[in-house]
């Protein structure tokens, strides 16, 4: 029994089979975290749009029972001032298998560490899946936005995000610096007395499980390539390790063979017979390539920090983080969330674009096998954007647009379903 979470009186749990497939009842209970900042604006709109899509697709035969679980500021009001991520929230997300969350605040510098990162680590949601898709009519800063069609697999459990950091001049930072200098022969810390220290763990196992998902996605979705994005020329044993282990996995488990002596390699998609190329790109060069030659990239496998940067950069190319969805996945548990954050200056103003969270819910419905409802959301998003009744972020860049509120856009989507 939970302390503050109220389990709906109707509905059942989604369960997972031993092969990780899901059993989804017709009336599943889906936990949601409202989120900080604009979470209060976008999350209720997302639920309303999803309920409408499910009703439209199944005429009452299926229905979601939403169950609120708490994290972030709302949690501190319910559980006590220091409780940002209650144990029972983690337990519910695990127990109910599929969930969705709004954004959560992370202060820069001191204060609490990222709840988003903590949640991903606690539930071992090691894949951050962020598809980048262009909707016709969305204002974009590039000339041919439809050429940007990528799916990012961002490693979600390792890298500098592990949070192993020590504040400059603290006893722990000074101790590590002393250890590095005296026992590891390190001579290149430029200002040892005032350096903060961060540690970046990247493992073979972590890389391989991420790459396995990315390659399998390319096979299942008939994609032409997987690009490993890294900064391995500089960080040889972390980002370079990631590159080598990712290539190794493609060869070892998918039978990829070297092209012209490597390191690029390729194999035939067992489902379509078409070739899938495994290639790599150094992160800085990649960020200019995605602007200049986006059509050459499809599935992207990358580390946590690179993936964070690349997600927002690619989102901008197709219209901004107002419509950039995402999913955090383990082998069994899935928690869907937008790519953007809490946009605090807009909090509570019924102003921002709810599209990212709605499209995250669309991914959730597809993950549950509720394809018809997911399709209803995509089609309605397409029609709504064409109607030019859009939130401020699109309206300010579109000719002849009518600006609507966050909830107003939700209604536009329901009207176009
Ligand atoms: N997964 C999560 O929960 C995440 C949480 N965060 C956290 O969010 C907080 C704020 O981060 P910040 O760096 O400001 O980044 P945000 O993503 O919150 O906002 C940056 C800008 O992106 C635009 N934007 C964001 N969301 C929307 C939306 N729904 N519709 C339209 N435009 C949008 C706005 O642009 P404009 O000003 O041009 O209108 C906004 O000012 C931080 O505490 C951060 O740690 C950040 C990312 C992810
Ligand atoms: O946890 C945070 O505050 C930021 C996370 C983030 O930027 C992301 O997941 O893209
Ligand atoms: Mg980010």
Q: Using one digit for the tens of pLDDT, what is the confidence trace for 299-321?
A: 999 999 999 999 999 999 999 89
Are 57 and 100 part of one and the same domain? Answer: yes
User: Could you tell which of 320, 340, 361 is best to mutate to test the pocket of ligand 1, judged by most ligand atoms within 8 Å of the CB?
Assistant: 340
Q: Choosing from 308, 350, 389, 393, which is the catalytic residue?
A: 308
Are 208 and 192 part of one and the same domain? Answer: no
At residue 402, the pLDDT reads 97
Residue nearest to atom 28 of ligand 1 (CA): 322
At residue 230, the pLDDT reads 98
User: Whose structure tokens read 């169950």?
Assistant: 67
DSSP structure class, residue 135? P
Asked if 149 contacts 133 with a C-beta cutoff of 8 angstroms, the reply is yes
CA-based nearest residue to 71, from 51, 87, 85, 59: 85
pLDDT band at 27 (very low <50, low <70, confident <90, very high): very high
Residue 176 belongs to domain spanning: 165-198
The predicted complex's ipTM stands at 0.98
Span 350-376, average pLDDT:
98
- Residue 381 CB coordination number (10 Å): 23
At residue 107, the pLDDT reads 78
Assess if residue 14 is contained within a domain. Answer: yes
Asked if 384 contacts 412 with a C-beta cutoff of 8 angstroms, the reply is yes
Q: Is it the case that residue 28 has pLDDT exceeding 80?
A: yes
Are 332 and 407 part of one and the same domain? Answer: yes
Higher-confidence residue of 82 and 361: namely 361
At residue 180, the pLDDT reads 97
| Count of residues in the chain | 417
Q: Is it the case that residue 211 has pLDDT exceeding 90?
A: yes
Are 3 and 105 part of one and the same domain? Answer: yes
What does pTM read for this prediction?
Answer: 0.97
Which atom of ligand 1 lies at the shortest distance from residue 356's CA? 29
- Residue 291 CB coordination number (10 Å): 14
193 is known as an active-site residue: no
Q: Is it the case that residue 221 has pLDDT exceeding 90?
A: yes
In 97-157, at which residue ranges do the beta strands (DSSP E only) sit? 98-101, 127-132, 150-155
Phi and psi torsions of 157, nearest 5°: -125, -5
**Average pLDDT along the chain:** 96
Lookup: tokens for 164: 């192993």
At residue 108, the pLDDT reads 80
Span 229-237, average pLDDT:
97
Asked if 195 contacts 223 with a C-beta cutoff of 8 angstroms, the reply is no
Assess if residue 22 is contained within a domain. Answer: yes
Residue nearest to atom 46 of ligand 1 (CA): 341
Are 91 and 189 part of one and the same domain? Answer: no
157 C-alpha to center of ligand 2: Å?
Answer: 13
Each residue of 249-281: pLDDT tens digit? 999 999 999 999 999 999 999 999 999 999 999
Annotated ligand binding at 308? The verdict is: yes
Q: What percent of the chain has pLDDT over 70?
A: 100
Are 373 and 355 part of one and the same domain? Answer: yes
Are 353 and 372 part of one and the same domain? Answer: yes
At residue 113, the pLDDT reads 83
Q: Tell me how many domains the chain contains.
A: 3
Assess if residue 133 is contained within a domain. Answer: no
Burial of 279 (0-12, 13-18, 19+ CB in 10 A): middle
List the CATH number of the domain containing 237. Answer: 3.40.718.10
Are 152 and 272 part of one and the same domain? Answer: yes
Q: How far is residue 84 from each of residues 38, 101, 119, 196, 352, measured CA to CA in Å?
A: 17, 14, 11, 26, 25
Are 211 and 191 part of one and the same domain? Answer: no
At residue 109, the pLDDT reads 75
Asked if 284 contacts 231 with a C-beta cutoff of 8 angstroms, the reply is yes
Which atom of ligand 1 lies at the shortest distance from residue 355's CA? 29
Q: Is it the case that residue 110 has pLDDT exceeding 90?
A: no
Span 376-392, average pLDDT:
97
């Amino acid at each position: 029994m939970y302390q503050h979470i109220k389990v709906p009186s109707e509905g059942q749990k989604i369960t997972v089979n031993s092969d990780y497939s899901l059993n989804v009842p017709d009336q599943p209970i889906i936990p949601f975290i409202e989120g900080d900042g604009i979470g209060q604006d976008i999350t209720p709109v997302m639920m309303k749009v999803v309920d409408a899509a499910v009703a439209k697709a199944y005429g009452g035969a299926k229905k979601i029972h939403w169950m609120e679980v708490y994290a972030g500021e709302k949690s501190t009001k319910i559980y006590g001032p220091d409780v940002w991520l209650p144990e029972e929230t983690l337990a519910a997300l695990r127990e109910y298998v599929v969930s969705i969350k709004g954004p959560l605040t992370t202060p820069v510098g001191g204060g609490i560490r990222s709840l988003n990162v903590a949640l991903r680590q606690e539930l071992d949601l090691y894949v951050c899946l962020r598809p980048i898709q262009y909707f016709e009519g969305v204002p974009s800063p590039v000339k041919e936005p439809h050429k940007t069609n990528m799916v990012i697999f961002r490693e979600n459990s390792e890298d500098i995000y592990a949070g192993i950091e020590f504040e400059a001049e603290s006893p722990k930072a000074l101790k590590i610096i002393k250890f590095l200098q005296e026992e590891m022969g390190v001579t290149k810390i430029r200002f040892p007395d005032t350096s903060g220290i961060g540690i970046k763990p990247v493992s073979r196992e972590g890389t391989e499980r991420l790459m396995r998902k990315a390659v399998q996605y390319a096979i299942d979705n008939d994609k032409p390539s997987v690009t490993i994005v890294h900064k391995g020329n500089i960080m040889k044993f972390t980002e370079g390790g990631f590159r080598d282990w990712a290539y190794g996995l493609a060869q070892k488990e998918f039978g990829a063979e070297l092209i012209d002596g490597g390191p690029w390699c390729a194999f035939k998609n067992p489902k379509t017979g078409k070739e899938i190329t495994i290639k790599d790109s150094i992160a800085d060069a990649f960020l200019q390539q995605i602007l200049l030659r986006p059509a050459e990239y499809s599935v992207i496998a990358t580390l946590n920090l690179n993936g964070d940067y690349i997600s927002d950069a690619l989102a901008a190319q197709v219209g901004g983080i107002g419509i950039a969805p995402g999913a955090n996945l383990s082998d069994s548990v899935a928690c869907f969330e937008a790519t953007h954050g809490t946009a605090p200056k807009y909090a509570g103003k019924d102003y921002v674009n709810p599209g990212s969270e709605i499209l995250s819910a669309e991914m959730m419905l597809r993950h549950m096998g509720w394809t018809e409802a997911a399709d209803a959301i995509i089609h309605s998003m397409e029609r709504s954007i064409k109607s030019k009744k859009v939130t401020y972020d699109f309206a300010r860049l579109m000719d002849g647009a009518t600006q609507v509120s966050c909830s107003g856009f939700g209604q536009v989507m329901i009207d176009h379903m």
